[in-house]
Amino acid sequence: TCRPYLTHAIEGCIQGAQRGGVGLVSYFRKEGRALGEVTKFLVYNARKRQVGGDTAEQYLNRTECVAGVQDMRFQELMPDVLNWLGIRKIHRLVSMSNMKYDAITRAGIEVVQRVNIPDHMIPADAQVEMDAKMAAGYFTPGAVPDAEELKKAKGRGLDV
């Protein structure tokens, strides 16, 4: 879901600039939750091959089985570039990451509004990831999927 979030953020920056404001995209590339490209693809393949297929219910567990952890991102240094640019307030933060939000606010930067991406921008096979992250406590302004809903979301199958 990184690409749709990035696309939505860029669109928001353009719209803000068109209204006479300023937009800034600060993108910190941390492929596969900072586990790297190879591990990301190992996890993708393991999710497709697991009994029951790729489900939101097992999304984060499968990553932990393959990599030993669910997430390796260390966001504490991420706000440094924002501080370096003199940013003291973010009017619209386009991110569902609580770690990112917490790092920004701990660095003394005010976040006025957290913004999620519209449903139509979420690819169909990414709903597994979205549901798993919302159930794990990531930011969502809507309803959090329950255990039954997590079983329903299915990702891509194994192409043989």
pLDDT of residue 160: 55
> Has residue 100 been placed in a domain?
yes
User: What pLDDT is stored for residue 149 in this prediction?
Assistant: 79
The answer to whether 114 is a known catalytic residue is no
pLDDT at residue 159 in the model: 67
- The pLDDT score that the predictor gives to residue 62 is 85
Looking at residue 30, its pLDDT comes to 75
101 residue type, one letter: Y
Spatial separation of the C-alpha atoms in residues 77 and 1, rounded to whole Å = 22
Which of the residues 73, 92, 106, 146 is marked catalytic?
73
CA gap 25, 42 in Å, rounded: 29
Residue 101 lies in a domain: yes
Q: pLDDT means per 10 residues in the chain (160 residues)?
A: 85 93 84 79 83 80 85 87 96 91 97 91 82 84 80 69
Which residues form the domain of 67?
27-152
Structure tokens at 110: 């005010």
Task: Domain count for the chain, please give it.
Answer: 1
- List C-alpha distances in Å: 92 to 12, 27, 41: 9, 15, 32
Residue with tokens 């192409």: 159
Q: Tell me if residue 71 is catalytic.
A: yes
Kindly name the residue from 71, 92, 125, 156 that is annotated as catalytic.
71
CB 1: neighbour CB atoms within 10 A?
15
- For residue 5, tell me if it sits in a domain: no
Q: Residue 8 domain-assigned?
A: no
Structure tokens at 154: 């299915």
Q: Tell me if 7 is assigned to some domain.
A: no
